[in-house]
A = this chain, B = another copy of it.
Amino acid sequence: MGRNRITVSVPQMTNPISRAGLHDVAADSLRQMIVEGELEPGARLGEKVLSEVLGISRTPLRESFKLLAAEGLVDLVPNKGARVACLDPDEVRDLFEAAAGIERSGAELAAERLTRDELERLDQLQGEIEDEFASGNRERYFRLNQDIHQSILAGSKNDVLVAAHRWLFPRLERARYQALQSPERWRHSVSEHRDILLALKEGDAQRAGQLLSRHVLETGRSIIANFRDRSNAA
């Protein structure tokens, strides 16, 4: 097909399968950096610096700022650029209240729409998470915890609820990342998951929703408590 090879520089070829635009790559990088605390709250996101760090031009970078601003991870002030959004206890409260509402709705629907296969999958995840809890592996526990919550929501068969949860998720993770839960809360969490799963199996929508809502709110309370301690300590 006679392609003329004029362009010379291909700094590093990305995986040919991934065809995402640079704005998505940038958004993913920044999102992770913000969630994991690598970029501190209030930090300025200078376009020049970041475009050089990420190896892209300012145009796709600016597009990614808009996305992250819509997710509430960065504040965008006209003519003053982007800053990493701060995370105060009030917002954490709001976040977990909202998540509780969304996940409750998801669980209520899931109780009536989960397939047998999905229930088995949840059972399997519950087994794994109890193992990880026993072995004390926080990293993998976190991962499995996310899987469970997302699987329940997916079971609602409601793409909008799933999207709403995805929208919230980075900020929730950020809060979780900053304030790890106490081991005690951790233990409680595992058993709450067991109860939720039971309610889902029985198709008890009300109960599943209520249990999940309380579970999320309790998680939030635990995190806010740690969060305040951390603030006071600092």
Set of chain B residues within 8 Å of A168, measured between Cβ atoms: 160, 164
Of the candidate stretches A15-23, A28-36, A142-150, the one touching chain B is A15-23
Tell me if A164 and B167 are in contact (CB < 8 A). yes
**Contact code string A157-183 (vs B, CB < 8 Å = 1, else 0):** 011110110011000000000000000
Give the CA-CA distance A159 to B92 in the complex, in Å: 11
| Chain B nearest CB, measured from A183 CB (Å) | 28
| Chain B nearest CB, measured from A195 CB (Å) | 21
Partner pick for A63 among B63, B94, B98, B101, CB 8 A cutoff: B63
Give the CA-CA distance A78 to B24 in the complex, in Å: 11
Partner pick for A94 among B72, B94, B160, CB 8 A cutoff: B160
Tell me if B94 and A158 are in contact (CB < 8 A). yes
Tell me if B109 and A105 are in contact (CB < 8 A). no
| Chain B nearest CB, measured from A186 CB (Å) | 25
A interface: dominant SS: helix
Say whether, besides A78-B19, A159-B91, A164 and B62 are in contact (CB < 8 Å): no
Q: Is A100 positioned at the interface, with any CB of B under 8 Å from its CB?
A: yes
**Chain A stretch 80-118: residues in CB contact (< 8 A) with chain B:** 91, 93-95, 97-98, 100-102, 104-106, 109
| Chain B nearest CB, measured from A158 CB (Å) | 5
- 8 residue pairs A–B, Cβ–Cβ below 8 Å: A21-B78, A59-B59, A63-B63, A91-B159, A98-B161, A101-B104, A102-B105, A160-B168
Residues of A within 8 A of B (CB): 19-21, 23, 59, 62-63, 66-67, 70, 72, 78-79, 91, 93-95, 97-98, 100-102, 104-106, 109, 158-161, 163-164, 167-168
